[in-house]
């Protein structure tokens, strides 16, 4: 599988030539805190955009699917020898709102990994706006490797710290600067993150066959690209680990159980392992039930088309976007 767009950058040069352009003063303050350590912006950033790849006709084998009740920790995977990838629940225009007063998952990743703001500025300047959906509503997932995570930003509710409603989504816009500062922890020794950006579709009513195919094709292509990039990075002997969650189930109104099912199927087809972050106990139970349903499907057939048909017959319905 060859990327349709490929760029490599030196992080130090990228930050100097294309610094992020922060519109929101609170995000500027987070960035200043991210720059407060003596650690330089360094390393090689590899940006790849991928054309959609049709999945195999049969599931080759059942992979590992671990469920956690919290949110991304960006720590080591269960197999520390594996290459870890964190899914960015992307807009069609990747990082488009990074500098605004919004703080959904895409913007949060840029706040913690500010070189991503520089990356968008550089790509736009050279006439390549990073798009996770191409012409004709065609998925085009993006992989970005070698990204420094320079701060940890806590969006969770914390009454004791003066953040009773947390700082996620629209709460960030209304937060005081002191609340934002208290939620920001600079990392003296930045860690390295690899990101897989995929945009989920929106819809209403019952999911139709084309919806399921679109979602599976997107996730499979993204997971396969992450596996291929892991091999390029020198990890051919271990399965990559994809950190994901209820992709497309917030602002896009996706069905949480169905999106879990489809990602489990995509992971097995691409031969990667999944670390699924379910946000809370309720989400944990939804994901657990989804995996039970998926494993029951595999008892009947390993055919990709038959598994999709079983999902279609379950009559999943689109939800309502959460506004974040």
Q: Which of 123-137, 218-232, 283-297, 301-315 has the lowest mean pLDDT?
A: 123-137
Within-domain flag for 323: no
CATH, residue 24? 3.40.220.10
Report CA Rg, the chain: 19
Q: Is residue 322 part of a domain?
A: no
C-alpha to C-alpha distance for 63 and 268, rounded to whole angstroms: 6
17 torsion bin: left (phi>0), alpha (psi -120 to 50), beta (else):
alpha
How crowded is the C-beta side of 186, counted as CA atoms within 13 Å?
A: 13
Instruction: Answer yes or no: is pLDDT of 79 > 70.
Output: no
Read off the pLDDT of residues 83-102 as tens digits, 9 standing for 90 and up. Answer: 999 999 999 999 999 999 99
Residue 186 lies in a domain: yes
Asked whether residue 318 is assigned to any structural domain, the reply reads no
What's the pLDDT at 75? 66
320 lies in some domain: no
Nearest of 22, 20, 170 to residue 99 by alpha carbon: 22
Question: How far apart (Å, rounded) are the C-alpha atoms in residues 223 and 156?
Answer: 28
Residue 321 counted as domain residue = no
Q: What is the pLDDT of residue 50?
A: 97
In a domain, 15, yes or no: yes
Query: Is position 229 within any domain?
Result: yes
For residue 123, give the nearest of 232, 270, 7, 34 by alpha carbon. 7
Please give the structure tokens belonging to residue 43: 């390393």
Q: State which residues form the domain around 244.
A: 5-313
Average of per-residue pLDDT across 71-85:
72
- Per-residue burial over 58-86, b if 16 or more Cβ lie within 10 Å, else e, is ebeeebebebbeebbebeebeeeebbbbb
**Structural domains counted in the chain:** 1
Q: HSE on the CB side for 248, CA within 13 Å?
A: 26
- pTM greater than 0.85: yes
pLDDT band at 129, cuts 50/70/90?
Answer: confident
Residues contacting 51, CB < 8 A, separation 6+ = 4, 134, 138, 140, 221
For residues 274 and 267, give the distance between their C-alpha atoms in angstroms, rounded to a whole number.
Answer: 7
With contact defined as beta carbons under 8 Å apart, do 217 and 51 qualify? no
292 Cβ partners below 8 Å, 6+ apart? none
Where are any strands of DSSP class E within 246-314? 273-277
């Amino acid at each position: 599988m060859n990327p349709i767009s490929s760029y490599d950058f030196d992080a130090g040069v990228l930050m100097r030539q294309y610094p992020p352009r922060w519109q929101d003063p609170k995000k500027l303050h987070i960035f200043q805190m991210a720059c407060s350590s003596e650690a330089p912006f360094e390393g090689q950033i590899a940006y790849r955009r991928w054309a959609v790849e049709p999945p195999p006709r049969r599931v080759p084998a059942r992979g590992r699917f671990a469920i956690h009740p919290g949110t991304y920790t960006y720590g080591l995977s269960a197999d520390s020898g594996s290459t870890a990838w964190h899914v960015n629940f992307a807009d069609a225009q990747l990082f488009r709102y990074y500098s605004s007063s919004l703080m959904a998952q895409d913007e949060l990743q840029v706040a913690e990994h500010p070189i991503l703001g520089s990356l968008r500025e550089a790509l736009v300047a050279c006439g390549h706006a990073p798009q996770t959906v191409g012409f004709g509503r065609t998925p085009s997932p993006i992989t970005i490797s070698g990204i420094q995570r320079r701060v940890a930003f806590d969006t969770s509710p914390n009454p004791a710290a003066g953040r009773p409603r947390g700082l996620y989504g629209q709460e960030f816009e209304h937060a005081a600067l002191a609340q934002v500062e208290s939620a920001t922890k600079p990392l003296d020794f930045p860690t390295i993150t690899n990101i897989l950006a995929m945009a989920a579709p929106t819809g209403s009513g019952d999911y139709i066959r084309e919806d399921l195919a679109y979602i599976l094709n997107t996730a499979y292509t993204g997971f396969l690209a992450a596996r291929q990039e892991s091999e390029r990075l020198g990890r051919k002997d271990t399965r990559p680990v994809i950190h994901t969650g209820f992709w497309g189930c917030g602002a896009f109104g996706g069905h949480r159980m169905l999106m879990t099912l489809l990602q489990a199927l995509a992971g097995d087809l691409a031969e990667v392992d999944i670390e699924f972050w379910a946000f809370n106990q309720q989400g944990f139970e939804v994901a657990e039930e989804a995996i039970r349903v998926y494993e029951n499907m595999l008892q009947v057939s390993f055919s990709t088309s038959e598994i999709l048909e079983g999902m279609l017959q379950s009559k999943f319905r689109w939800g309502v976007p959460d506004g974040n």
